[in-house]
Structure 1
């Protein structure tokens, strides 16, 4: 029914208007903010976008992408490629994979209204009262405080990890038992990143209550929004294939004040320290404020040479979740083992301004 409705609505805005539409202006899907998202990108393409508005609304836009299971990269690519909002909205419905329920639409619109009208968003993300059980041990909490990261082993059943790995090999047309196939080109491969975001096997892992429990305990609040993120496939280095990165880096917007935030990934295969393991600068969350204050004037923190820092590779078995504070410089490293390192990126955040 929705498909027919949208298909019959003629595109009314093949060019972005000079001013942004109200966040409550909708199209055939009845979703707030979607039309405004599309218009912001069109204004960017014309070189007349308000950068402050884009930054201020970024967390909201990401929340919408995550809630609809769209993935950040494909959504941005679709917005840039769509010549009309009608075209983009059709892409959203198709990528969502099923009709958007009234319950999801109403809850999403309610969150968007709360964001703009500054009603108490914290009521939607209330503090955790009494956890069902403590999934983090005292030693894990100590690691979180001292090192800025925590490893939760055997959190996800190995069978679910294997399901995602098998899906990845199938989608990339590779044979897990044939190393020669691991280096073949594919449109979904970008370096070690794999642009698969919302396969059902990945959704199953994201929806596990024990995964949510970890993030709720670290954040100390409920109703976190789970990210719709991609996979990574890091095969062993060879003479003809060298690790392309990402090396040690940050995913931080330093134009804004630093606040608490997490990042995370799940090892889908057993990973040893030399097997391209996730690496981070342990404990740097305690030093970052002072370090930033002492940087030479006009120095971009992202351009800093992190080779001077000692990074720690984190080995763990398949099914282990690693969560780190986003203030830790982090990255991957060359795989000097015999088998690929495969991970699924997972994170949860509250909606906040």
Structure 2
């Protein structure tokens, strides 16, 4: 994902003068570790002399920092590329964060960064898991997780909170939820069905709900997960003049690294029927993927595989339902053949790992 994003952003005319990365403890005005190193890595990428292994190894750390600060992955990458100096990038971070970074948050974030590089806590963290406050997942949901690789938790988030996000989206995109003609208007924040809104207060409220965290902690079997700062999706009904642009079935996996357990998730903000552009996936593929990869012809890119013949299942659910799936499931959206838009908020949680 990071390489795809980087390829889309034109390089700046001003590049870093040194090919040596600063120490992760070198800070700027915000006093945050790793931030300067993040900026410098991108400058080396502009020059074509970045160490790809370092970038890959530190990617999960950099994403954790973006998520913790509520920056969003895509906006941060674009800002780093657009900033001709670290001072400029740091000012962008300050502006997007929107308020002073507390000493407690700074200290905790810096502690996590030190742990990542010195490996003091990361490897042993899973051994010190606390028991969740209460069990959200039912035996049937656990069965679905094991057999199908996904789970649907209905009515997890109050409908009013979902409506708040939807109303914010319509307002920001200057659309009228009661006027279908307005759903197809162009807007800078719309990219296909993706909406580049990452950290509105209405979205933050949902991310901070304890029941949402409990689901991910139970699936991961551990605490200390970082919630993602991700975007929204708006998939209106297909018309003669507007056809569903994708994404169709795909993976968000770096196949250059060994496959390990990971989750992805989204929250339905509206009621979604199977034909209404529902989230779709290939159930049970997590049990087949190792053999499938082993039998691919040599030098075949798994991302280029045509999934047209795979049986995918659209998952219908009511507003407030959280869907979490194993990242080894091919997944995507589908054309909306209903009468109203499908709106979702992407939510995931991950531990910091190397």
* TM-score category (smaller protein): over 0.9
Q: Is the 8 A contact 2:12 2:84 kept in 1?
A: no
Deviations 1:259-311 (A, max 9, x none): 00000000000000000000000000000000000000000000000111100
Distance in 2 (CA, whole Å) between partners of 1:180 and 1:90 is 39
Distance in 1 (CA, whole Å) between partners of 2:104 and 2:295 is 50
Compute the displacement of 1:169 (Å).
Answer: 0.1
SS in 2 for 1:342: strand
Q: Describe the shift of the 1:7–1:100 C-alpha distance in structure 2 as closer, same or farther (beyond 3 A).
A: farther
Deviations 1:220-271 (A, max 9, x none): 0001000000000000000000000000000000000000000000000000
Distance in 1 (CA, whole Å) between partners of 2:52 and 2:338 is 44
Distance in 1 (CA, whole Å) between partners of 2:78 and 2:336 is 30
Distance in 1 (CA, whole Å) between partners of 2:2 and 2:281 is 46
Compute the displacement of 1:133 (Å).
Answer: 1.2
Q: Is the 8 A contact 1:9 1:28 kept in 2?
A: no
CA RMSD across the alignment:
5.3
Compute the displacement of 1:5 (Å).
Answer: 32
Q: Is the 8 A contact 1:266 1:343 kept in 2?
A: yes
Q: Describe the shift of the 1:3–1:84 C-alpha distance in structure 2 as closer, same or farther (beyond 3 A).
A: farther
Residue-pair matches, total:
353
TM-score (normalizing by structure 2)? 0.95
Q: Is the 8 A contact 2:15 2:47 kept in 1?
A: no
Deviations 1:168-201 (A, max 9, x none): 0000000000000000000000000000000000
Check if 1:33 corresponds to 2:34. Answer: yes
SS in 2 for 1:126: helix
Query: Equivalent residue for 2:206?
Result: 205
Compute the displacement of 1:132 (Å).
Answer: 1.6
Compute the displacement of 1:218 (Å).
Answer: 0.1
Compute the displacement of 1:121 (Å).
Answer: 1.7
Q: Describe the shift of the 1:234–1:129 C-alpha distance in structure 2 as closer, same or farther (beyond 3 A).
A: same
Q: Is the 8 A contact 1:269 1:342 kept in 2?
A: yes
SS in 2 for 1:306: coil
Query: Equivalent residue for 2:120?
Result: 119
Distance in 1 (CA, whole Å) between partners of 2:9 and 2:301 is 47
Structure 1: segments with no counterpart, 5+ residues: none
Compute the displacement of 1:17 (Å).
Answer: 3.7
Distance in 2 (CA, whole Å) between partners of 1:334 and 1:263 is 21
Compute the displacement of 1:7 (Å).
Answer: 31
Structure 2: segments with no counterpart, 5+ residues: none
Distance in 2 (CA, whole Å) between partners of 1:227 and 1:126 is 23
SS in 2 for 1:116: helix
Q: Describe the shift of the 1:173–1:13 C-alpha distance in structure 2 as closer, same or farther (beyond 3 A).
A: closer
Q: Is the 8 A contact 1:227 1:346 kept in 2?
A: yes
Q: Describe the shift of the 1:5–1:42 C-alpha distance in structure 2 as closer, same or farther (beyond 3 A).
A: closer
Q: Is the 8 A contact 1:125 1:223 kept in 2?
A: no
Please list every run of at least 4 consecutive aligned residues from structure 1 whose deviation after the TM superposition is greater than 6 angstroms.
Answer: 1-14
Q: Describe the shift of the 1:9–1:78 C-alpha distance in structure 2 as closer, same or farther (beyond 3 A).
A: closer
Q: Describe the shift of the 1:5–1:173 C-alpha distance in structure 2 as closer, same or farther (beyond 3 A).
A: closer
Q: Describe the shift of the 1:230–1:12 C-alpha distance in structure 2 as closer, same or farther (beyond 3 A).
A: closer
Compute the displacement of 1:129 (Å).
Answer: 2.8
Q: Is the 8 A contact 1:29 1:89 kept in 2?
A: yes
Distance in 1 (CA, whole Å) between partners of 2:3 and 2:250 is 42
SS in 2 for 1:87: helix
Q: Is the 8 A contact 2:11 2:81 kept in 1?
A: no
Distance in 2 (CA, whole Å) between partners of 1:3 and 1:192 is 21
SS in 2 for 1:324: strand
Q: Describe the shift of the 1:106–1:10 C-alpha distance in structure 2 as closer, same or farther (beyond 3 A).
A: farther
Distance in 1 (CA, whole Å) between partners of 2:156 and 2:308 is 32
Compute the displacement of 1:131 (Å).
Answer: 2.0
Distance in 2 (CA, whole Å) between partners of 1:268 and 1:342 is 6
Distance in 1 (CA, whole Å) between partners of 2:68 and 2:161 is 22
Compute the displacement of 1:15 (Å).
Answer: 3.9
Greater Cα offset, 113-122 or 264-273? 113-122
Compute the displacement of 1:54 (Å).
Answer: 0.4
Greater Cα offset, 16-25 or 147-156? 16-25
Query: Equivalent residue for 1:8?
Result: 8
Q: Is the 8 A contact 2:15 2:46 kept in 1?
A: no
Q: Is the 8 A contact 2:72 2:229 kept in 1?
A: yes
